Amino acid sequence: MKLLKTKMGNWWDVGLLKWFAFLFGICVGAYFHEYMKPYIWMFLVAAILLAIRPAVAYWKD
């Protein structure tokens, strides 16, 4: 059994997964805001670094 499988999802499955991740992140951030506030710049830099690879792969031809 393969742990990671390649699967083509429907557009609504991908959309629902994105909304879940977005709303879960909001809930976690609201609950732990006092602990996360001193590290907000570290989270912002991590988000930008994690977004670079998919953006380059998307626009690269």
The larger pLDDT score, comparing residue 57 to residue 61, is at: 57
E strand map for the chain:
none
pLDDT for 9 equals 67
Annotate 17-39 with b (16+ C-beta within 10 A) or e (fewer): eeeeeeeeeeeeeeeeeeeeeee
Q: Which residue's structure tokens are 């809930």?
A: 27
- Model confidence over 8-51: pLDDT tens digits? 767 778 788 888 988 898 888 888 888 888 888 998 898 888 88
CA–CA separation, 36 vs 28, rounded Å? 10
CA–CA separation, 50 vs 46, rounded Å? 6
